[in-house]
Structure 1
């Protein structure tokens, strides 16, 4: 029985519909240079009971009616620790070298619990990059304007760009055009891809969502493997990555003609 429910090969991208841990454990080693992912934040409440009941991390009810939310975000802290440690352990089997890196988006409230869990898989915590959204969130007081990333390496990391600091400024994905509740902007994702991989190398995203990591990878001439458990978001990712692959082929064709 295959480890996935569906597999789509789109240009330099291979997409799997299925559970991240099951797929990673069941496919052949990928030889990936980096894992870049946006897992569920599981921060919808201050108690474990509140997290299990959370519907949308404090989003307004009218916003939830428009965009809904996504499965897995009401896990407890222990559930998310278990998931991310499992992903980190399995990534070591799929890494192309000891210089491979892992970058996972993370709510600031979860850093103290998640970083040690990932470290326990044998990865080295290298940095905590910050995404500056350049606009204030809802609420009062010190209103949220950023998200954190946990950045790890198996051993000594291999980097391919020095253009970016540990604060990356990029506007949010537009509310009128985004196709996933927590869609990350392509400008931000291209930055992560450029720093951690070279052209032609492979990126793994076990929490693919709407496919932004894959689109950024193809835009920058990388290869991509994505895993998504939600069929609706999987379809969105397939469509967006198909369009990115088409644009990439067109650009390569224009480059060949110019040469």
Structure 2
């Protein structure tokens, strides 16, 4: 299966993939964050993640209202299935905010992966300031591998801190990541490899993989996001011709 976008639940999609058939897992799953208590986390994404007074045209998305126990259990479910489909030594990169950082590192290890560190996405000073507090300027990439990770892999040295602003013209999802950021992150995969993203959203990881010369596999549940993914990928393909 090459360059395939599946519409539906990621667990059903992952079950269709052959064991040891994927070279990297790079994904930005729902955080179920945005608050210190369950009542706050269960609000809609637009209520949790959009700044007060800021209008949004982005569609709501699902799967972002679990409590800590169910979030951990669910992470271990899909990460365990992803472990099966990855090749030995394959890298895994999971995005998280500060609230879910401990949970995400636990889930990664509970699913069988070796945890190797944390990289930082510096969103720059464009994020909302609050007087008397540190600016919420960073999100995190928890990364590891399926068992041993050889030092002679065909991949470059990557930075530990990525500094990329969020650009309005490049944002197609409420919590979407910059394309420039993802084009750097996907390079952790060996050249010519196949990258898996079970939470494709607006398709930025898949697009970054395609632009950098990788094969890709992804799944996404929502019709709205599937349409955006396909449009962005088609546009990139036509521009490359």
Task: Give the alignment's TM-score, normalised by structure 1.
Answer: 0.84
1:181 aligned onto 2:174:
yes
Gaps of 5+ in 1: 1-8, 251-259
Q: Distance in 2 between matches of 1:194 and 1:113?
A: 25
Question: What value does the CA root-mean-square deviation take over the aligned residues?
Answer: 2.0
Corresponding residue for residue 205 of structure 2? 213
1:54 and 1:18 map into 2 onto residues whose CA distance is: 21
Q: How does 1:215-234 map to 2 (within 5 A)?
A: 215-234=207-226
Q: Which runs of 5+ in 2 are unaligned?
A: none
Whether 1:201 aligns to 2:216 is no
- How far 1:61 moved relative to its partner? 5.0
- Quote the Cα distance in structure 1 between the aligned partners of 2:170 and 2:183: 18
Aligned to 1:85: 76
Instruction: Determine helix, strand or coil for the equivalent of 2:100.
Output: helix
Deviation at 1:29, TM superposition (A): 4.0
Question: SS in structure 1 opposite 2:33?
Answer: coil
Once the 2 structures are TM-superposed, how far is the Cα of residue 39 of structure 1 from its aligned partner?
Answer: 0.6
SS at structure 1 position matched to 2:136: coil
**Per-residue CA distance 1:158-187 (angstroms, 9 max, x = gap):** 554444221112222x22442111121111
CA distance in 2, matches of 1:65, 1:131: 23
Q: Among residues 140, 158, 163, which one is paired with 1:164 in the alignment?
A: 158
Determine if the alignment matches structure 1 residue 44 to structure 2 residue 30: no
Quote the residue 2:14 is aligned against: 24
Per-residue CA shift, 1:126-159, capped at 9, x if unaligned?
1101011222421411111111011121112255
SS at match of 1:67: coil
In 2: Cα distance, 1:45 partner to 1:171 partner: 23
Q: Distance in 2 between matches of 1:115 and 1:222?
A: 27
1:3 aligned residue: none
* Residue equivalent to 1:255: none
Contact 1:44 1:54 in 2 (8 A): no
Residues 99, 181 of structure 1: CA spacing in aligned structure 2 closer, same or farther, 3 A cutoff?
same
In the alignment, the residues of structure 1 paired with residue 51 and residue 165 of structure 2 have an alpha-carbon distance, to the nearest angstrom, of 20
Paired residues in the alignment total 236
TM-score normalised over the length of structure 2: 0.90
Match of 2:114 in 1: 124
